[in-house]
Amino acid sequence: MIIPLHAKLTDAELRELEEIISEFGVRIQPIHGHERSIYAILGDETSQDLINRIEGLAFVERVDRIQAPYKLMARESKLSGHRVKVGTKTLPGDFCVIAGHCTIDPKQKAMFLETAFAVKEAGADMIRGGVWKPRTSPHSFQGDAKSLDILVEARERTGLQINTEVMDFDQLKLCVDAKVDCLQIGARSALNYRLLQQVGEMTKNSSTRVLLKRSMHMGPVSEFILAAEYIVAQGNPNVMLCPRGTVPTIEGFRNSPDESITLLLKERTWAPVVVDPSHSVGKAVYVPNACLAAAAYGADGILVETHCQPKKGTGDDPKQAITPDVLAQIIKDTREIHKFAARYQPKDAAKAAAK
């Protein structure tokens, strides 16, 4: 819908607009009101180039889109009804828990394996552990490829599937070769569109899942959904959207908690939402309530940094990892809340989950 700057377009302005519009195979329908006229775009208005060209006209105030800019991620797409499996859980529908260290320190293999068994015992569905770490300072521990073997060993020994973050093509290739079950795209890489495409290309037609974090710098919800569209467009629909807090931060929390956007995501897309409360609130003592909140907003799961001895951990673990006994209680409580939350989901989302 095109809203002109003035009450009505002149004939010359309308002609200029129609010239642009015809290049994109759409038409325009003026709607004349008492005071003002607006101009409906008839046809596919999802092209960003089309919108940019119209918004660039001096006599146009703005363009309000009725169609979502994403095609495959939309509720109306042919992928609506697609399900993603995490261990034995099927999303949406079930509630899944992904838990483990922020960072796998290759010098502390035994500790990671201990955590892996403990999160399994607590009821987690998938083990997480950072092999390569996106650290703010180049002087901090950057991770170590050797940790990938430890993660794979944890899968062999516990029987649980595994999740780890990839930040570039080389890491992606190593993880695909190691058959990592779930690739995590972190908050810093969520805006790296080439990486998103490579992940989609490398995992197309496979059962590999992709957990896409929301960048801390993303604004509109559509920006997040479009990032997932990059992966899905290359042939892998097994994406999970992961809100993990944004900037500006709330004093006392690491980021601004954003689990509430689960409602908006579920209204607009079919993809499961797995919330990361650990990086959002950033302090172990706040994590349990944030997990319950995520379940209350209708999330399909949580990703929780968990460590058998947080004080001895690396990266985020000493400050924000919870212990496996706390995780066990959270898992029981969130599964209950998840059942109640389903009653209050936006209408379309609840219908789709029931399919």
- Binding residues (CB under 6 A) for ligand PEP: these are 102, 130, 134, 186-188, 213, 244, 276, 279, 316
96 binding Mn ion? (CB under 5 A)? no
Smallest distance, Mn ion to C-beta of residue 217, A: 17
* 105 binds Mn ion, rule: CB under 5 A: no
The distance of closest approach from Cβ of residue 191 to ligand PEP in the complex, given in angstroms and rounded to an integer, is 12
Q: Does 150 bind Mn ion (CB under 5 A)?
A: no
Q: Which of residues 315-334 bind Mn ion (CB under 5 A)?
A: 316
Partner whose binding site includes residue 186, from Mn ion, ligand PEP, none (CB under 5 to 8 Å by kind): ligand PEP
Cβ-based nearer residue to Mn ion, 77 or 215: 215
Choosing from 102, 122, 154, 195, the residue that interacts with Mn ion (CB under 5 A) is: 102
| Rounded least distance, CB 202 to ligand PEP, Å | 20
Q: 208 or 255: whose CB is closer to Mn ion?
A: 255
Which residue's CB is nearer to ligand PEP, number 142 or number 289?
Answer: 142
Judged by CB under 5 A, the stretch of 1-9, 35-43, 202-210, 311-319 that binds Mn ion is 311-319
Residue 134's binding partner out of Mn ion, ligand PEP, none, with CB under 5 to 8 Å set by partner kind = ligand PEP
Size of the site for Mn ion (CB under 5 A): 2
What tokens appear for 18 in the block? 């129609």
- Span interacting with Mn ion, options 101-109, 121-129, 187-195, 236-244, rule CB under 5 A: 101-109
List of residues contacting Mn ion (CB under 5 A): 102, 316
